[in-house]
Amino acid sequence: MPRKNLVDAGPIIAYLDKDDLAHDWATGIFSANENLATCEAVISEACARLEFGGFDQHRVIRLVTGGILTLEFSAQANIARILRLMEKYADRPMDFADACLVVMTEESSDPVLFTLDNDFKFYRRHGRDAIPFVSPKH
């Protein structure tokens, strides 16, 4: 089974904002990986943050309609696990999108998460395993 490439909101925003400090890194991620998956929570977060910054949030949606990002997660089917994770990591605090991404890593035998969020070094998949992630800070 091929590696599952997952993407968080930070790299999406950096990819779409040429002035972002991580833009070059994010552009490399999007250029080097054909199959980037994420969830609706991440899309919503990226849209909101871009809109707050004065950018066109439609650009995020176009990444999905253009096949650059795929949505491969059901929060409804995983809501109990998401809640347990958010409660466990309430001290960080873990947001809904991060909890969804952790569950997505649990659904794959060979995941890697592209993120700007260093909290993923504290989160654990299956309660004990480190989250395999790549970050320009990591």
Q: Which residues have CB under 8 Å from 27's CB, separation 6+?
A: 15
Query: Domain coordinates of the chain in residue numbers?
Result: 4-134
Q: Return the CATH superfamily for domain 4-134.
A: 5'-nuclease (3.40.50.1010)
Q: Hey, what amino acid is at 4?
A: K
pTM of the full structure = 0.95
Long-range contacts of 86-89 (CB under 8 A, 24+ apart): 89/119, 89/122, 89/123
Distance from C-alpha of 135 to C-alpha of 84, rounded to nearest angstrom: 25
Alpha-carbon gap, residue 102 to 49, rounded angstroms: 21
Give the pLDDT score at 137.
76
In tens digits, the chain (138 residues) has pLDDT values of: 579 999 999 999 999 999 999 999 999 999 999 889 999 999 999 999 999 999 999 999 999 999 999 999 999 999 999 999 999 999 988 999 999 999 999 999 999 999 999 999 999 999 999 999 999 975
